[in-house]
Every structure is written in C-alpha cells, then in structure tokens.
Structure 1
Amino acid sequence: MNRRTFIESMGILGAASLLPISCLHMQPTTNYKLGYQLFSIRDEMTKDPIGTLKLLKKLGYQDFEIYGFDAEKGMYYGYTAADFKMILDDLGLTVSSGHYGFSGFLNAPEDILIRFVDQCIQGADTLNSAYITWPWIAPEQRTLDNFKIMSKKLNIIGEQVKAAGLGFAYHNHGYEFDDHNGQNGYDIILSETDAALVKLQMDMYWVMHSSKYTPKELIQKQPGRYVMWHIKDMDTKTRDYTELGNGSIDYTTLLPDPIASGLEYYYIEQGGNFAQNSIQSATDSATYFKEHLQKYL
C-alpha cells in the first residue's frame, strides 16, 4: 500500500466511524443462524417435539435454545440427550445454548451444585451446544444478598463449564434492575463475576422494560461480553410480550453492533401473550425478522 492509498483508506475508515451502527452493519459480516428459544413454543414441544421442530425449520429457524432439561434422566423433551441430538442431526438443526435450572441450587452445598453442573455439561456436550445458561431465580430469591451469593456461584459454575470446553452465560430479566436503595442486582453481577468465566445473554425486551439503559449502552460498559441476545417485542399498551413488529420496540434502530457485543448467537422469543397461538407467533415473528431485521445480522 503506497502513502496515497493508505491516507485514502484511513479517510474512509474515519468517515465510517462517524456513521450510525445500523449503517455499519447493514451488510452482515457474520452469517448468524436464525435462532428461536423453544420456551416460546413450549405447548407444542410438549405435545409433539419432532413435529414442532419440523415446523420451525420450515419457518426458517435453524438454531435453538432449549429449556426443561431433566438432569437426573439426562433427557430433553422426553428423549435422551443422544436421541435428541440424532433428531436434530436428521433435521439439520442445532442447539447452541440451553437454559438450565440453577435457581434451586442457589443455596445448595457446593458439592451438590457441582454434581448438577456436571449433569448439565454432559447433556450440553452431547447436543454439541456452545453455552450453558443460568436463566432465572425465583421471586423470593431476589435480594441483594442473594445476588452476591449468586455471583459467587456463577463464577464457580463458569470455571467448571469452561474447564469442560463449553461457555457459560447469565440471562437477565427485569428484576435485576430493581432499585434497592441505590443498588441493583445487575450491577452486582457485572462487578462480582469474572468476565472470562461468565458471559452475558442480553434479553433486550427486559432491558427496555425495566432498565434505565439501552442495549447499546450496556454493551459499551461491557464490550465483547454479550455473546447472546434474546429479541422480543413489547405490547404498546400492556407492556407484555408480543410478536415482533407488533409492539413498541423499534429494533431497526435499537439493535447494537454485533461485533462490539461479542455476539455469537441470537434467539427470537415470545414467552406468552400470543395474538393467536404459539405457532402463529413463531410464524409472524420469523416473517417480520427476515423482512426487517436479518439484514443487520
């Protein structure tokens, strides 16, 4: 590269840095799979897991986040982990992450927790998942002291999961942002967990519903740590869940830069409040996402 070419290229880069993030990643730099959190269609997964996965594939979904792992039996949706992996392989689908039931182990002895984590690792490894995710704590557990206890447990689990060759992440809801005399649980999690061991899964609905920050502002504080996103819309009146494009969240301007985020996987989700039913919700959200948002990813 000669001096003139170098100066011209630097000028282009400098100008690019002034553009909005949405302009910078209008053309995807990474081919993310269209993901879906299967909790969104849990009624159909209970009745007919294979048929539901086939339907979701027809809608364009390629990758999933599971829930409801039976640790003692090593089963997903009534199938052993090995059998469920065979079903996924036959359909050409993947499960990149799972929500596992850590809430009940918040105050459990460490050896009990370690045993449960080993069971989760075995299941996730069989599915060839990249991440194990802590998704939730019960309402009675949502105190500042428990957030501190949980942060210690997150580090312990993260170290164990990382040693097994997998990633570990924490998924936010809204209660982490509740004010407790100037403090909140999310700040405790961010400050008291090791970013090398505990990654973050950002639920953008809950950030917009309950936080004083936008997703972009949170990522600026912890760049590279938000490896997964949950994308769902908010009803304009009730502020409950709704299908993508039906609510108040304008993701065309809200979506952060995936590179700055550290994004590896995203999942469309709707936990309830369906306009018709869970199948139509999955259909409508896929259609809207492919038409309006996929170009950003």
Structure 2
Amino acid sequence: MMDRRQFLNHASLLTAAALLPTSGCSMSDQPQFKMGYQLFSVREDMAREPIDTLRKLTLMGYEDFEIYGFDADANKIYGHSPTDFRKVLDDLNITTTSGHFGFHPFLDKPLAELDRYVDQCIDCAKALGMPYITWPWMAPEQRSLETFKRLPEMLNRIGERVSAAGLGFAYHNHDFEFVEYDGQTGYDIILRETDPNLVKLQIDMYWVMHSAKQTPKELIASQPGRFVMWHIKDMHKLSRDYTELGNGSINYVEVLPDPTLSGLEYYYLEQGGNYTHNAMQSAKDSADFFKEQLQRFL
C-alpha cells in the first residue's frame, strides 16, 4: 500500500509530467540529429584548404555537412575524387548527407544529357555515402511561370532515377519560388505537381521568413513528412541579409517546426555571406548560439 507521503510525491510527478509538451519540438538532453553545416557558407576557405577547413569546423561541433560544387567533368569535389574525399570524411569522423548539384543548366538541354548528369551525381553521392541529392537553384533568367509549369516533370524524372538508385532527391527553395503568378506561386506548382515519393523538400527557413506568406510551420503542416531537410540561418534586423544565428530577427525558438511532423532527417546551419568578421568566425558564432539556445529542440 502507498502511504500519504508516497501518494503526494507520485501525484506531483504525474502533474509535472502532464505539464510537459506532448507535441512539437523535442526537449531531450541528447540531440536526435548531428549538427550540420552547408559548406557554401565557407566556400572560399574550402577552395583554399578543404581538409583544414573541415577540421576546424569539426572543432566547432559540426559533425555533418552538405556539399556543393561537384565538378562532373573532372569527377572532383573540392579538388578530390569522391572516393578520396570520402577518406577525408572518414578520417575526421564526419559525414556528408546531402549535396547541392547544378541541375538548372539542364532545363534547356536534351533529356539524355540530364540523365547522364544525374547518373554522375548518383555515383558521387554513393562514393561519399551521401543519402540525398538536392536541386538548389535556378538562374534569374529561368525564373518564370513557364519554367515552373515544366519543372515538375523534370523533378519527377530526376527523382525517379535517383530513387531507383536507392537514394533520395529533394528540392531546395529560395525566395523566387514565392513570387505569385495569377494567384499561385512557383512553389505551389512544385508541391502540387511533383510526386511526394520521388521529390522531397529541403526548406530554407530564412527564405520562407523573408518572402513567403506562410510560416515554416504552416508550410510543413501542408505537406507533413515531406520536408526531410532544413536550412537554418538568420536574417539581419535592418538589411534583411544573412547574418549569424542569434544576431538577427528570426526567433527560432518560435519558428522551428515539429521535426517529427516535418519528417526531418538532416538539418544544416548556413550563412551565405554578410559575415560580421569572416566566414569561419561566423560558422563558430552560429554553432555556439545553436548549441546553447536551439539544439535541445532537436
């Protein structure tokens, strides 16, 4: 039998447990995900000294990376073959889980050339042990309603080829997807006309907060389970340009969506420019802020 003191202690624990959040972001002490970084943020350092740059980033706490700049003609990434670069990653005990690849030039090329390039991306990803291939960009002259009307078919085609190879394919947004054309946006078209099983989504929360009429939480609620990757970067309070996490106007404690509802698998901190001091110091400042203020939510 439970005495009165044991009963009261038990009741207090149950009351406290009931007050804890039952949905939304995790509050566990142990993060579920590795802290990732998009290497475009330190592109000049990666061009000069890729191995030393990666080593310094690991000392800041980054464990996972998203690559960019694959040279398909030379089959090189940061001056190394994918196989040799994988050895670099393994030696540093880090991973790369997504890559931004240059798909947009193939909007105006024969499908056979696109297929060949996709196969090269697949080979690179497999050599690196990288589960996702990501479409990151369109050139300014390509950003039109006509492009968005024909883009879904191309995304589905890439996704089908990547999926058949045992990998995932995702689309990364900027601001131009949220321009309206007769009451709909390019992003609306992508969401509506691509196959969710073939084309996943990488949400850039900065650009959503900058340009979309929906919040990241609202976008994710409209396509639950599909936003498998996040880009997290802050917005300068005056210029609205990039800035270090914690130095800007985005309150990520409020903005971060539910990772489970999102289908989150990987996230990457990022800062494409507008560094307060230099790119590497910005990477450290963002890492420090994220670990102190935000990592517990993941």
Query: TM-score, structure 1 length as denominator?
Result: 0.92
Query: SS at the partner of 1:88?
Result: helix
Check conservation: 2:226, 2:262, Cα contact below 8 A.
yes
Relative distance call for 1:220 and 1:17 in structure 2 (3 A) is: farther
TM alignment of 1:85-164, pairs within 5 A: 85-164=86-165
The aligned residue for residue 83 of structure 2 is: 82
Shift of 1:20: 6.5
The residue type equivalent to 2:279 in the other structure is S
Deviations 1:10-66 (A, max 9, x none): x99xx68986724xx212686200100000000100110000000000000000000
Tell me the SS of whatever aligns to 2:70: coil
1:208 CA drift (Å): 0.2
1:256 paired with 2:263, answer no
1:271-286 → structure 2 map (5 Å cutoff): 271-286=272-287
Shift of 1:73: 1.5
Which ranges of 4 or more aligned residues in structure 1 deviate by more than 6 Å?
A: 15-18
Distance in 2 between residues matched to 1:119 and 1:289, nearest whole Å? 35
Maintained 8 Å contact 2:30/2:296: no
Cα pair distance change 1:18/1:83, threshold 3 Å: closer
CA distance in 2, matches of 1:29, 1:196: 30
DSSP-derived class of the 1:79 partner: coil
CA-CA distance at 1:150 after TM superposition? 1.4
Tell me how far apart the structure 1 counterparts of residues 144 and 105 of structure 2 sit (CA, whole Å). Answer: 15
Map of 1:173-184 to 2, 5 A cutoff? 173-184=174-185
The aligned residue for residue 32 of structure 1 is 33
Post-superposition CA distance 1:114-139 (Å, at most 9, x none): 00000000001100001000000001
What CA deviation, in whole Å up to 9, does each residue of 1:245-291 have, x standing for no partner? 00000001110010000000000000000001001100100000000
Distance 1:107 1:17 in 2: 53
The equivalent of 2:186 in structure 1 is: 185
Structure 1 counterpart of 2:24: 21
Greater mean alpha carbon deviation, residues 177-186 or residues 283-292: 177-186
Give the AA of the match of 1:35: G
Instruction: Call closer, same or farther: CA 1:243–1:256 in 2, change over 3 Å.
Output: same
- Contact kept, 8 Å, 1:148 with 1:192, in 2: the verdict is no
Amino acid at match of 1:21: G
Read off the aligned partner of 1:116 and give its amino acid letter: Y
How many aligned residue pairs are there?
285
- Residue 88 and residue 235 in structure 1: after superposition, are their counterparts in 2 closer, same or farther (change >3 A)? same
Question: Is the alpha carbon distance of 1:212 and 1:68 closer, same or farther for their aligned partners in structure 2, counting shifts above 3 Å?
Answer: same
Q: What is the aligned partner in structure 2 of residue 51 from structure 1?
A: 52
1:177 Cα deviation after fit: 0.2
Q: What is the SS of the residue equivalent to 1:75? A: coil
5+ residue gaps, structure 1, are 1-10
Aligned-residue offset at 1:220: 0.6
CA distance in 1, matches of 2:122, 2:148: 24
Q: Is the 8 A contact 2:23 2:258 kept in 1?
A: no
CA drift of 1:230 comes to: 0.1
Sequence identity, in percent?
Answer: 60
- SS of 2:157's equivalent in the other structure is helix
Given that 2:37 and 2:66 are in contact with CA atoms closer than 8 Å, whether structure 1 keeps it comes out as yes
Contact 1:95-1:128 within 8 A present in 2 as well: yes
Partner of 1:199: 200
Kept in 1: contact 2:152–2:190 (CA 8 A):
yes
| Alignment-derived partner of residue 68 in structure 2 | 67
**C-alpha RMSD of matched pairs (Å):** 1.8
Alignment-derived partner of residue 213 in structure 1: 214
